[in-house]
Structure 1
C-alpha cells in the first residue's frame, strides 16, 4: 500500500527544510540562513503520532522566468503539489505576509490539492501578528508552529488526519537489505556539471531533477524510488564534488558532506565522468573515496554522443584508471549519454551485477579449497629463514566482502603477498572489481607476558 503524499511549499527561507527534517525525524535536508538552499524535490518517510506519509520538501517558490534557474525550481515545486494529497503552505509569521506569499496563495487556490496553512517561527508569541494576518490568505485558521522547536505538532496532526485516508498506523517490516529483491541503492556522483541530474531525469523518463548549464545546481542528495525491468531501484542524485582546496563556501561544504553520506548509504556508486574533459585527478580522488567506504563502483563516461576520438579516449581513460586507481583494477567502465539515453540500460544491468558480486558469500569449504591452491601455487615467503604459516581463511561479512586469514608471523607478510591473495579472491571466486577487505590474525601466545 503506497503512502499518502504531503508537499511542503512556501517562499524561500520560511523554514520548509527545517519542517521537513522535524517530520522525518532526522536532519536530511540542508538548512542554512540563506534563501534558496533547496533546489530539487527531496522526499522522505514521515511519521506524526503513528500517522505515516511520504513528505516532499520543495524549492522556494519564486516569480522568475521559466527559463531561469529559479523558474525551473518553481516548475519542480508545481509538479510536487500536483502529485500531492495535501500541501503544507508555510509562511514566516515573524516577517508577516509579503507579496510573494499572496502570489503563492492565489496559485494554490487554483489547484485541486487541499492546503493546510502553517505560520512558522511563531514561538514565544513573536509571530502573533503574522498569524492573525495570514487569515487573509483564505485557507482558514493557520497553525501557529515552530519547526525549530517542534511546537504545534499536535495541531498539525489534527489538521492532516481528515485528509489522509490511507493511514498506516502499524509498523512496517522492511525487506532484508541483502535480499536480491531489495531495492538497489545506487548513487550518482562526480564533479560539477558532469550531467548527474540529466542522467537521473533520462533514467526516470521525466524532468524530476533541475538541470541547466550552471554548475552546482544540485545541493542536496536526492533519493528517488523507481523500477527497472520490474526490480526496485533507489536512485540518489548528489551534489558535484570539487577539490577540497576549492571548497570555501559553507553551503558547498555541507553539500559535499551530504554527498559523502550518500556514498556511505549506497550499495553501488556510479562515478560519472564528463567525456569531453576526460579523466581528471579529482575523479581519481572521488574513486578513492568510494573505495575507502567499501562501496561497489561503476564508472560511466557521459556525453559520449559529443565526445571526439572515442576509441582513443576510452582506451586512455581505461589505462589511466588501471594505473591511477590500482587498488581495484578492472572497475566497469561504460559509455553513456544522458542526453540521448544511449547506454543507460547497460549501466543499470551492470549495477545490479556489481551489487550481486559485492553481496556474495563463499561457502567455507570452497573458500579454503581455493586458499590451499593459492598457497601451493605461490607459498608465503620466509623472511630471515623462518616460514610464515597461513592456516585457514574465513569470510566474516559481505557488502563489502571481508575475509580473515589466520596464521603465524602474519605481521611480517609483505604487502605484495596480500595483494596476490586479494587479486586471487576477486578473480577466482567471482568478486570482480569490488572492494575486498582482507585482514590477518595470529593466535594469541599463551606464554606471552600480560
Structure 2
C-alpha cells in the first residue's frame, strides 16, 4: 500500500489555520454551534441525542477570524468495543489534533456528572480550552452559567448557538486563544467574493470548473453496511471514520481531504441508502438527503456493492441516480476477498452490469477489499480515468464526420411519410459530455434513435460508462444553417 499518503497535509494553508474542536456530552448543541460558525447547515441537527458520530470539518469564520471547525460525537463513558465507545475514541482523537477546544455544556441542564468527568479529559489534553455554556438565552440558563465555574475551565462564555447570541464574546475568547498560539489569520480582504469575480463556488467554497489544481471530488455511496467508511479508512491509511459491524453507523456526509499520487482529493463518505419505503425515521431521512447532496456536488461517485450480494434493486437505484445527476460512475465490488471463483464471478458481473445499467454501458467495475486493502490502487486509477472521460471534448469536425457516416449506415426513420434530416452536430459542454443535434423536426426524432446515437458516441469516441446528454434542436437554431 505504498501509494497512500496522509490526509493531514494536502494544503500548506491548513497547517497555519487554527483547528478548533467542539466537544461535550450528547445533545448540548455542538452541531448547531458548528453550523453557526461555518455559516451553513453542514452537520445534521436533531433533538435525538447522539446524532453526530464522525468528526466533521468545515471552514469557519467569526468576524475577521478564520479557522477550521471540527464537530465531534458526544462524549459518553462506555465500553471501548461498543459503538458509543468507538465514537468516544474518535472524539479523543479530535482532541489530540485540535489547537483550541470549545467545551460545550447545556446551561439549562446545568453541570452534570458527565460534564465534570469530560472536563478533566479536556483539561488533560493540554490544549487551550474555552468553556461554552450553550442554550443560555433568557433566565432559564442563569443557574447553569454559575454552576459552570465549578469545572475549573475559567470564565464561561454564555451563548445561544440557535439564535446567534453571545457570538461577540466567543469571538473575543477565540481571538485571545489564537494570539497565544501565534497563528496569523488571513485578513478579510483576502477572501474572494463570488459576486465580484463571477466565479461559481461550491458548498465548500471551492471554485467549480476545469482547474487541474482543484481537488478531485469523489463520493462513496451505497447500501448500508457495504463497507464505505472502511474503504475510505483503507485509502487514507488511518481510522478517520467510525466503522463497525452495525449497519447505518454513518449519518452525516463526511468530507476527508487527502493526497493521492501528488493530486489533492476530497473524499465524501455518505450514509447508507435504503429503499425509500423502509426509511421511516426523520433522522434517517436527513442522513439520506445529506448523502444525496454529496453525490450532487461530487464529480466521480463510487457506488460500492457487496460482491457477495451484488446488484440488489437498491444498488441499481443508486447507480441510476448517479447517472441522472450526470456524475462519473465507478462500480466498486467490495468484499472481493470472500469470493472463491473470481474470474467466473467477474465475467458474470460484467455482463450483469451492462444488462441492468445500459445507460452507462462499459462502466468500470473494480474488485477490491476495504478490509485487506486489495484493489485500492486500481480503484483510484479508475476514478481518475472516469474523471478524464467525464471531461471529454470532441471537435465539431469529428462529430459531423461521424454523424454523416452514422446516417449513411442507419438513417433516421421516416415519420408520417417524411424523412427526418439531421443537419449538424456540436458539443455544447463537458462534465458530463453534452451534445446538440440540429434537425428539421426535433419533436419527431424517436427516443430509440437518440439512444442509438448515444451508444454510437460512447463506442466510437471511447467513453465507456460516461453519462452522455443528447439534445435535439430545430435546425433553425443552427447558426451555421442560415439562409439568404
TM-score by length of 1: 0.96
CA distance in 2, matches of 1:156, 1:396: 49
What's 1:228 paired with?
260
Could you tell me how far 1:250 is from its partner in structure 2?
1.0
Instruction: Tell me if the contact between 1:85 and 1:163 (Cα under 8 Å) persists in the aligned partners.
Output: no
Instruction: Tell me if the contact between 2:360 and 2:464 (Cα under 8 Å) persists in the aligned partners.
Output: no
What's 1:79 paired with?
93
Please identify, of 83-92 and 46-55, the stretch whose mean Cα deviation from structure 2 is larger: 46-55
Q: Say which of 344, 354, 357 aligns to 1:322.
A: 354
CA distance in 2, matches of 1:401, 1:166: 43
Could you tell me how far 1:325 is from its partner in structure 2?
1.2
Q: Deviations over 1:74-105 (max 9, x none)?
A: 01001111111111111000010110000110
Please identify, of 128-137 and 176-185, the stretch whose mean Cα deviation from structure 2 is larger: 176-185
Secondary structure of 1:118's counterpart equals strand
Could you tell me how far 1:363 is from its partner in structure 2?
2.7
Could you tell me how far 1:279 is from its partner in structure 2?
2.2
Instruction: Tell me if the contact between 2:361 and 2:464 (Cα under 8 Å) persists in the aligned partners.
Output: no
Q: Say which of 99, 102, 109 aligns to 1:95.
A: 109
Secondary structure of 2:381's counterpart equals helix
Q: Deviations over 1:39-88 (max 9, x none)?
A: 00011111111221111100000000111100000010011111111111
Q: Say which of 284, 288, 299 aligns to 1:252.
A: 284
Please identify, of 121-130 and 234-243, the stretch whose mean Cα deviation from structure 2 is larger: 121-130
Pairwise CA RMSD of aligned residues? 1.5
Aligned length: 445
What's 1:34 paired with?
48
Instruction: Tell me if the contact between 1:13 and 1:34 (Cα under 8 Å) persists in the aligned partners.
Output: yes
Secondary structure of 1:392's counterpart equals strand
Structure 2 CA distance for partners of 1:371 and 1:51, relative to 1, 3 Å: farther
Where structure 2 has 5 or more consecutive residues not aligned to the other structure, the ranges are 1-12, 193-205, 478-484
TM-score by length of 2: 0.89
CA distance in 1, matches of 2:127, 2:243: 26
What's 1:171 paired with?
190
Instruction: Tell me if the contact between 1:278 and 1:313 (Cα under 8 Å) persists in the aligned partners.
Output: no
What's 1:448 paired with?
none
Instruction: Tell me if the contact between 2:105 and 2:134 (Cα under 8 Å) persists in the aligned partners.
Output: yes
Please identify, of 368-377 and 6-15, the stretch whose mean Cα deviation from structure 2 is larger: 368-377
Q: Deviations over 1:383-426 (max 9, x none)?
A: 23311111112222211111111111121112221112111222
What's 2:236 paired with?
204
What's 1:426 paired with?
458
Instruction: Tell me if the contact between 2:296 and 2:325 (Cα under 8 Å) persists in the aligned partners.
Output: yes
Secondary structure of 2:177's counterpart equals coil
What's 2:143 paired with?
129
Could you tell me how far 1:324 is from its partner in structure 2?
1.3
Q: Which residues of 2 match residues 210-289 of structure 1 at below 5 A?
A: 210-289=242-321
Could you tell me how far 1:171 is from its partner in structure 2?
3.4
Please identify, of 187-196 and 304-313, the stretch whose mean Cα deviation from structure 2 is larger: 304-313
Q: Say which of 397, 403, 422 aligns to 1:371.
A: 403
CA distance in 1, matches of 2:225, 2:208: 35
Instruction: Tell me if the contact between 2:102 and 2:131 (Cα under 8 Å) persists in the aligned partners.
Output: yes
CA distance in 2, matches of 1:404, 1:109: 63
Q: Deviations over 1:244-266 (max 9, x none)?
A: 11111111111111111111011
What's 2:60 paired with?
46
- 1:112 maps to 2:126: yes
Please identify, of 310-319 and 248-257, the stretch whose mean Cα deviation from structure 2 is larger: 310-319
CA distance in 2, matches of 1:369, 1:55: 54
Where structure 1 has 5 or more consecutive residues not aligned to the other structure, the ranges are 446-450
Q: Which residues of 2 match residues 406-421 of structure 1 at below 5 A?
A: 406-421=438-453
CA distance in 2, matches of 1:420, 1:361: 20
Instruction: Tell me if the contact between 1:276 and 1:308 (Cα under 8 Å) persists in the aligned partners.
Output: no
Please identify, of 25-34 and 411-420, the stretch whose mean Cα deviation from structure 2 is larger: 411-420
Q: Say which of 213, 225, 232 aligns to 1:181.
A: 213
Q: Deviations over 1:87-128 (max 9, x none)?
A: 111100001011000011011111121111110001123201
What's 1:145 paired with?
159
CA distance in 1, matches of 2:84, 2:174: 29
Secondary structure of 2:302's counterpart equals strand
